[in-house]
Structure 1
Amino acid sequence: MIDFKKLEEGLNKLSGYDLLSLEQEERIAGNTTLELSTSKSFQARLAAKALNMNVHDLKALPLREFNAVCLQVFSFLNEPVPPTT
């Protein structure tokens, strides 16, 4: 079972370098999705990195849990950043 709090904390620790490296891995794996943030395969790769787990183990989760993980990553990537004052 995935710890969603740990997932959120892990995502917050990732850097732009991590994102770019994972994008490159995903492209090498053959993902041609124009906007990778919408790809469940890419979302799974990010989640696995954030959780420090194997992406294949993450993809083996029950469908409902896997989809919940992907949705959390998608929301994280597309959440507006509050303006700084």
Structure 2
Amino acid sequence: MANLTDIPESLAATGWQISEDNKSIHKVFKFADFRDAMSYMVRVSFEAEAANHHPEWLNVYNRVETTLTTHDTGGLTQNDVNLAEAMDKIYQK
């Protein structure tokens, strides 16, 4: 799988940022409370497991901080873009 050096404008428009080394993307999702944040993480976990592509993330109360990269290739791939799009879609619900 080829590494990417940029992300689609649609992801940038929703708050995803590419790292300075172009090897990962990052976003912070904010929720009303801890329960909503954890519910989001559970829903994303099903998508991630189905894709066999798992986020690096951190939860603090109502915030989920996420970094996506493809460790096997040492950089950003279409798998990261696909999971980011799925995460945004779940967040919109």
Q: Which has the higher strand share?
A: 2
Q: Which has the higher helix share?
A: 1
TM-score, reference length from structure 2: 0.28
TM-score, reference length from structure 1: 0.30
